[in-house]
Structures are given as C-alpha cells and as structure tokens.
A and B are shown apart, each in its own frame.
Chain A
C-alpha cells in the first residue's frame, strides 16, 4: 500500500529551500494521495480543518509540517474520543500542553488517529471508532494502542504523529509499521490534556519517519509544565540540531537469554545481525540476563488494571460522555458506562476492581509495586555498567488481525520487551533496522538511563545513518 516514500521533515526543509514551488506541488499530491488511501488504511478517524493563515507562525521551527494526534490527546475543538463510543461526541475545549507548544512552533494538526479504546490493547482492534490496518499488508495489525498514529506516519499522511505510551503503545506500533517510535522519560513531557489511563506509566511519545524528526518534536514539546505536577523541571533539551554520536567505546547491554523468551526465529536472527552491526560500529557488547523482565508483564497487568479502573471512574456521564437511561443517578451511570465502554475496557475495569478489593490488594497491587521497585533497581544496576540497552522491540513482526483477540496472554506478550522500560520510567526508542523474510519491518529498541534522551537519540540517529536510513530518506 505504500507507493512511494514520503519525505522526512529534514529532507522536506531542503526540498523547500531548493524549489519552493515544486515542493508545494509535491505536498499537494502527497495530501491528495494520502486522503485517497486513507479509506483502506483506517488510520485517521477525523481530518481537522486547516487553520487560518494568520494563526500559524510562519517562522516557527516546525512551520509547514502537518501532524496527527492520537484520539486521547486534547486539541481545542477536535474530537478526543479515545477510541470509545462513550466519548464519541466529545470535543475538547482546550489544547493539551504538547499540542499548544507544537502549534506555537508552527505545526498544523491535520488529523486525529484511531487507537485501542482508552489505550487498552496492542493491535488497535479494541477501537470502537476506526480500526487501522498495517500499511505494509492490510491483513496485518498496525500494532497498538497508537496503531493509527504509526500507520498514518508510515503511509505518509503526516510528517509525524503524537501517541501515548503506557506499556509500549508508541514503540510496538512503530515496530509493526516500520517507523521510529520515541518514548521519553516519565515526567519529561507534560501530560496535561492526555486522557489518563494508568497515570504512573502514561507518557506522550512521538512517531516519525526518522530519529532527527522525532528529536525535533520531542525537544519542542518537552519541559516542565505548571499544569502537570508530575512533569519534571529538568534542564531543557538543547535546541540545536541533533548531532549523531559515534558508537565507538559505547558499552551496550544486550539480552543474553533471548532464546528462552519464545521469540520468533526472524526476530532472534535480526537481533544477532544488529549486535554484529553495533560491534562493527565500535560498541562494546555486554550480555545481560533479562530474568527480572519476566516479572514485567505480571507487574504491568496488575498496576495497569488497578490504575485504569480508578482513572475511568471519572466517566460517569455527568460532565463527559454518554448518560444512559435510568430512574436514578446510579442506574443511568451504569447504563451509560455499560453501553459506552467496549468489552476490553469493561474487563480491565473489573480486573482493576478485583486487584484493589479487600483481601486482594496486598496480594496483587502491593506485590506488583514491590516488583516494580525491584525491576527499577535492576535497571539502575544495569546502567551502572552500561551506557545503553539494545534488544528487540517485540517478539514477532506485525501479526495477522484477529489472531490475538481471543487470547489475552498472547496479546499481552506483544509488549513483553517494551513494558520494563515503562515500569521504570526510562526513555526508549524503537528504530526500524530491517525486515523479516516476508518483508515486514523489524526493529531494535534502545533504552537509555533516565533523562538521557539526547544521547539516546544521537546514538539512534548514528545507527540509523549507518544503515542507510534517516533524514536522507525519501
């Protein structure tokens, strides 16, 4: 379905400088073709109107670039439906902080993308509003929950898209669709305007066609925000263009026991290729056991359900969303939520109530929190001796639609390599590094210590460049 690469922002800037008129024609064609393809792809649920010419800063660093936002990020007047019938008619009255900052830099948000309902899923099939397919093969999943954002970028609908990553929801769809997915340190980017799912894990991330583009977007939207008490007052990310960094002398931790993780042969073989390539670039590889990662899915499943159940209690139909029929407030609340929430969301709410209920909280929730602390300490120890961790983003390439819907364990396993960095709040990037024998994208996930996004992106850009990809693409 991809019939011609769309340019990266870096290349578009060059094209614009070389011949502005020719570039305008190119952009017009890109948008026309993109809208024609969208029907089959299903990545976009709503196109947004173009802003008045006076409202877009012409001199902004990202001026002239269109972008999409996941349907759980608020933009004034745009549908913030979260993939849920419960919020089908909801329009946000204000911009999320990330949207405001990017608009001030000149970005035009042209589309809202499909997603698993409230971010709960790894294939975007739990969406009640729009169901994206994989741009490389419509029989396959685009991943999730930011599947619409990944597919929109891969198909060239937009230059970049915003997603949210709770347990891998930016990195895993990026892997499935063959684009870059960047998740910052928890606290690096304000979440004011992001509909909360599991607040101790939620981050806003970027899907882009190259690392330099993802970096440009991240540094524009990052920074402390008085409207989000969990955003951190860290030194600003430098404003200059990302400088690639040599891998020579970099100590790179790699998983030593991947064979024990039920990983596809193609993914295993590709990891070996990536390790050989990193070694050839001068990195020192340091095999590390991933045994603590085995707890990651269990910890994530418990914490995620508990926090989701709490966060979604706010949807009572009084201020937001559907209100059902009933003779009392309680009856109408139950009717509205039962009719508006899809089956996966209802299941997670019930699971959350179960793990938080009397007699179970210690056994599940507190134990999961202790496990999370141990996992975080495990990472701290790892980064005491290594600069970065490099492993697969997911255990398989994009999988056929429908195959994991009835199997919650298989669906959760899609996130087995992304969840640990989320639990520890670490920054990570999924970088497309090759394909499997069927031609489907495969990726390398790089995980860096807390707040080291600049080095993470510089090393990722250098690796990307060494593979003949990056901002020269397109």
Chain B
C-alpha cells in the first residue's frame, strides 16, 4: 500500500501519520486483507437490514408459506451512531 493511500486513510480518520509506525500499519492491513480473503464471497452484494440476532430467520408470508427474512445480523448500520453512550453528543445538553 502506497503512502498516498495511507495518507488518505489518515485524513478520513482525522489523524496524522506523523509518528506512526507505517511498516506496522502496512503489516496490519495485510493481515486484515489476508483474513478477509478467507471469507466466502457473497452471491450478491445487496445490503441486508439490521435486526437482532435472536430474531427468526423466517417469517410467515401472507400465503401461509415460510419466507426468509432478509437478514439476521445485528449489524446496526445507521443505528450505532445513535446508540446511547458516553461521551456522546448531546449528553451534556441537560
């Protein structure tokens, strides 16, 4: 990974690469890519919606058949930004 790519990532992350061990960072990115490469490729890239892991994978359709719910992953896209936490924007307003 070239330095300009690392600098772009740092800009996205609100960080400076000054003082960063770049070799270690490259090693980490390579390790992550190697790990991610072991994951099975998806048949389609459609993004599933969030739900709780305990939610059923199937639900009853209008015609009485069982149909798959699109997702069973508690991945929380669009929600985790709102998860109450500390520190959190707005917590100090009251």
Given A335-B16, A367-B40, A380-B57, also A80-B86 (CB < 8 A): yes
Contact with B along A370-399 (1 / 0, CB 8 A): 111110110010000000000000000000
A315 and B13 CA atoms in complex are apart in Å by 11
- Docked complex Cα distance between A228 and B82 (Å): 9
Smallest beta-carbon distance A427→chain B, Å: 11
| Cβ proximity bits B59-90 to A, threshold 8 Å, 1 near / 0 not | 00000000000011111100111111111110
Given contacts A314-B89, A347-B24, contact A450 B54 (CB under 8 A): yes
Q: Do A94 and B16 touch across chains, with their CB atoms under 8 A apart? A: no
| Of B27, B36, B79, B83, the contact of A368 (CB 8 Å cutoff) | B36
By the criterion of a CB under 8 Å from any partner CB, how many residues of chain B are at the interface?
53
Contact of B74 among A94, A341, A425 (CB under 8 A): A425
With A90-B87, A191-B85 known as contacts, the answer to whether A409 contacts B47 (CB < 8 A) is: no
Chain B residue with the shortest CB-CB distance to A90: B87
A interface residues, how many (CB within 8 angstroms): 84
Is A186 within 8 A of B74, CB to CB?
A: yes
Q: State the Cβ distance, B81 to closest chain A Cβ, in Å.
A: 7
- Contact indicator A338/B85 (Cβ below 8 Å): no
In the bound complex, what is the Cα–Cα distance between A347 and B89 (angstroms)? 24
Cα distance, A186 to B25, chains bound together (Å): 31
CB contacts (< 8 Å) of A290 on chain B: these are none
Contact A367–B36 (Cβ < 8 Å): yes
1/0 per residue, CB under 8 A from B, across A96-110: the answer is 100000000000000
B2 surroundings in chain A (CB, below 8 A): none
Chain A contacts of B32 at CB under 8 A? Answer: 301-302, 305, 351, 354-355, 364
> Is there contact, CB below 8 Å, between B87 and A357?
no
Which residue in B27, B31, B86 is a CB contact (below 8 Å) of A96? B86
B45's contact among A90, A362, A424, by CB below 8 Å, is which?
Answer: A362
Give A19-59 as 1s and 0s: 1 = Cβ < 8 Å from B's Cβ atoms.
Answer: 00000000000000000000000000000000000000000
Cα separation A90 to B88 with both chains bound (whole Å): 12
A409→B28 CA distance, assembly (Å): 9
> How far apart are the CA atoms of A433 and B65 in the complex, in Å?
47
Chain B residue nearest to A426 (CB atoms) is B53
Partner of B91, one of A93, A316, A338, A408: A93
The answer to whether A370 and B16 have CB atoms under 8 Å apart is: no
Find chain B residues with CB under 8 A from A372 CB: 73, 75
Q: Are A319 and B39 in contact (CB under 8 A)?
A: no
Selected from B15, B73, B76, B85, the residue in CB contact (under 8 A) with A373 is: B73
> Cβ of B35 < 8 Å from any Cβ of A?
yes
A-B contact pairs, 25 of them (CB 8 A): A94-B86, A186-B52, A186-B53, A187-B54, A191-B85, A195-B87, A196-B83, A199-B80, A229-B83, A295-B39, A301-B35, A311-B81, A311-B85, A315-B87, A346-B13, A350-B6, A357-B12, A366-B47, A370-B40, A373-B73, A374-B40, A406-B24, A409-B31, A425-B54, A426-B53
